[in-house]
Amino acid sequence: MEIFETSIPELELINRGKVRDLYSIDDLILMIATDRLSAFDVVFPDPIPDKGRVLAQLSIFWFRMLEDLVPNHIVETDVDKFPPVLKKHRQILKDRSMLVKRARPLAIECIVRGYITGSGWKDYLKTGSVCGIRLPEGLKESDKLPEPIFTPSTKAELGLHDENISLDQAAEIVGKETFEEVSQLSLEIYKHAAEYALSKGIIIADTKFEFGFIDSRLCLIDEVLTPDSSRFWPLDSYEPGRPQQSFDKQFVRDYLESIDWDKTPPAPHLPPDIIKKTRQRYLDAYRRLTGQELK
Ligand SMILES: Nc1ncnc2c1ncn2[C@@H]1O[C@H](COP(=O)(O)OP(=O)(O)OP(=O)(O)O)[C@@H](O)[C@H]1O
Ligand SMILES: [Mg+2]
């Protein structure tokens, strides 16, 4: 079943993000990953079948793997154990939703880059640095960095784009102590996950984490290490000096660059072939990383 948008009249809708619908339930949040696709921060009118389930199941997979490194917001992922009020929505919720603890999200996005690409590559070409971090000279596009780097960005309001900020700016926004903690944690989590993914033939070029305080404890929240929040590259065709084929939305982005669309809403409909290939990429990333077929 494809889900573009949910409606749960029994609960209060807290937020309809680009991809996730969040509802308030008792003192928890019901977080539902829909099949919406966003690219260039614009939501597309056509859902990508199975995308929401891939995002939810892959996040759950990583949250569990990383549990010893970092606490997370998950309370329940089994729809049959959700509160009775949700019983009649079971079909919609199944495999794409979780009950999570309500967090106070930090006002920065915690990005880690192990390879130089995307906005990092653009900044490097202009300044030789990313977020004020000086990088070696002569790097080629998609090169592996000597060490992964923490490159925070702002969390933009709806309709605006996130912007890279310096480490000092990030420390000012979240406070020095919290900054130290999230930068260290982000790098540790990235290193652990990247090593695992590499053993499955996938390079995690970069990724974005979100952290929030639950009570007074810093926890990993939102989604984690999915094709929406990360660039996954197949190891077997990796070659620096050019952009890489990837499992993320790059494929859709390339298509969008090839048509006459100015990247402002409304987004155009996607051809069935592009939808189909995008779906396959999400499923393929899931299969390779977890070694399982999606339920
Ligand atoms: N445990 C949590 N407590 C509170 N908010 C959360 C929690 N986990 C995730 N969120 C928030 O839920 C939203 C997820 O929805 P979605 O990913 O669709 O948003 P988005 O369009 O990417 O917007 P954003 O730029 O805010 O991430 C995010 O705003 C995220 O910060
Ligand atoms: Mg998001």
Question: Does ligand 1 lie within 6 Å of residue 221's CB atom?
Answer: yes
CATH of 105-248, one of 1.10.8.100, 3.30.470.20, 3.40.190.10, 2.60.120.10: 3.30.470.20
Q: How many residues does the chain have?
A: 295
CB atoms within 10 A of CB 16: 16
The end-to-end CA distance of the chain, in Å, is: 13
Q: What angle do CA 77, 79, 81 make, to 5 degrees?
A: 90
Question: Does ligand 1 lie within 6 Å of residue 73's CB atom?
Answer: yes
CB 251 within 8 A of CB 279: no
Cα–ligand 1 centroid distance for 223 (angstroms): 8
* Domain definitions of the chain by residue range: 12-102, 105-248
> Which is the CATH superfamily of the domain at 12-102?
Phosphorylase Kinase; domain 1 (3.30.200.20)
- Tens-level pLDDT at each residue, the chain (295 residues): 899 999 999 999 999 999 999 999 999 999 999 999 999 989 999 999 999 999 999 999 999 999 999 999 999 999 999 999 999 999 999 999 999 999 999 999 999 999 999 999 999 999 999 999 999 999 999 999 999 999 999 998 766 788 999 999 999 999 999 999 999 999 999 999 999 999 999 999 999 999 999 999 999 999 999 999 999 999 999 999 999 988 878 889 889 999 989 999 999 999 999 999 999 999 999 999 999 999 8
Question: Does ligand 1 lie within 6 Å of residue 253's CB atom?
Answer: no
Question: Does ligand 1 lie within 6 Å of residue 52's CB atom?
Answer: no
* Ligand (nearest to CA of 6): 1
Closest ligand 1 atom to residue 162 Cα is: 25
Cα–ligand 2 centroid distance for 155 (angstroms): 10
